[in-house]
Structure 1
Amino acid sequence: MPVRSRRTLLTAVAVTTGLTLAAVTPALAGTGADRTRAAGVSTAQGDPRNATQRVADFYGAYIDSVWAADDPAAAANAKALRAFYLSSGAQQRAAAYEAKNHADGVLFAQNVPVRWKVAYTGSGMGHSTSRVTLTWSDGANAQVTAIDVQSDLKTLKITGLQPAD
């Protein structure tokens, strides 16, 4: 291969590599203060027909609403989410818990978790069960609690919430 052809080929490879890195690096790094948050979540997906996914959708949106206490729309959004995702019986039991314990009847706490995850734990008799794990702070000694959630497989509504043992 002549020297000029090799130089042209190497130049083309170098330019292509440089342009690729220039295009990809900002997307991977994020911008400013969002850099840390962007690195934590790479993809998200869902299925509105899946009871466990619906529980995860509810807890994600509900925690976002409760977390945004300074947003005037947050309280109304949390109430609307409860009305949409919880059966009327579950709503009544959550309200009774709140009146008795002066704490949120969905989170079973007075504060808001910083992280959550949902796992399928079984199904039978027309219901699905999920375990919601709530993490209340960052660091090595973060407090973690769990809630067992029952959902109706026909309506996909949450029919029962109970702190896990």
Structure 2
Amino acid sequence: MRQMSVRSRKTLLTAVALTAGLSLAAVTPALAGSAASHTTRAAAVSSAQGDPRNVTQHVADFYGAYVDSVWATDDPSAAASAKALRAFYLSAGAQKKVAAYEKKEHADGILFAQNVPVKWKVTSAGSGAGHATSRVTLTWSDGPHAQVSTIDVRSDLKTLKITDLRPVG
């Protein structure tokens, strides 16, 4: 059997290492699962804008920040952040109603659930008599058969404070 030269062995080892590295790079996102999808989703949103005078935008800002806070279970400041968001965005009456719901149902009174949605969307559902209603759609999983729930959020048009939250049947 013929001996392979040192140079040929180095070339072969380099080729094997390069092939392994490229294979790993191609497979890693699939193996990473949800971690890779968070990065993909973050990269998909290239811009965002808002208007602090718009009541629907105000509700969307609240739900976006609130979901982020309750999602971040490993962040020690998350609970304080969620509490501060409630104090800022909800009227005193709405805060009391949410607290009563939570005490009775042992579930989050903003999301009307014990877990955290993976997506949210807010649309205007009309206004009148000094109030506006926003429809919040919460999506609880990914995929074609994801569970969805909706909440009607009533806000005062003058203060933009959320005055009532009701799950939609």
| Among candidates 139, 143, 146, match of residue 142 of structure 1 | 146
Alpha carbons of structure 1 residues 71 and 131: separation in structure 2 relative to 1, 3 Å = same
| Among candidates 111, 115, 120, match of residue 119 of structure 2 | 115
Which amino acid counterpart does residue 121 of structure 2 have in structure 1? K
Question: Which residue does 2:163 correspond to in 1?
Answer: 159
Deviation at 1:41, TM superposition (A): 1.2
1:124-143 deviations in whole A, cap 9, x for unaligned?
Answer: 00001000000000011100
Alignment of 1:49 with 2:53, yes or no, is: yes
Bigger radius of gyration: 2
Once residues 138 and 146 of structure 1 are traced to their aligned partners in structure 2, the CA distance between those partners, rounded to angstroms, is 16
Once residues 141 and 36 of structure 1 are traced to their aligned partners in structure 2, the CA distance between those partners, rounded to angstroms, is 21
Report how many aligned residue pairs link the two structures. Answer: 134
Alignment of 1:62 with 2:66, yes or no, is: yes
Alignment of 1:73 with 2:77, yes or no, is: yes
Deviation at 1:35, TM superposition (A): 5.0
Deviation at 1:39, TM superposition (A): 4.0
1:54-98 deviations in whole A, cap 9, x for unaligned?
Answer: 000000000000000111000000000000000000000000000
Once residues 127 and 84 of structure 2 are traced to their aligned partners in structure 1, the CA distance between those partners, rounded to angstroms, is 27
Task: Provide the secondary structure at the position in 2 that maps to 1:65.
Answer: helix
Question: Which residue does 1:85 correspond to in 2?
Answer: 89
> TM-score scaled by structure 2?
0.77
Uncovered stretches (5+) of structure 1, i.e. residues with no partner: 1-31
Once residues 149 and 44 of structure 2 are traced to their aligned partners in structure 1, the CA distance between those partners, rounded to angstroms, is 22
Which amino acid counterpart does residue 81 of structure 1 have in structure 2? L
Question: Percent identity, aligned pairs only?
Answer: 75
Once residues 99 and 64 of structure 2 are traced to their aligned partners in structure 1, the CA distance between those partners, rounded to angstroms, is 20
Question: Alpha carbon RMSD of aligned pairs, Å?
Answer: 1.4
Once residues 40 and 145 of structure 1 are traced to their aligned partners in structure 2, the CA distance between those partners, rounded to angstroms, is 24
Which amino acid counterpart does residue 142 of structure 2 have in structure 1? D
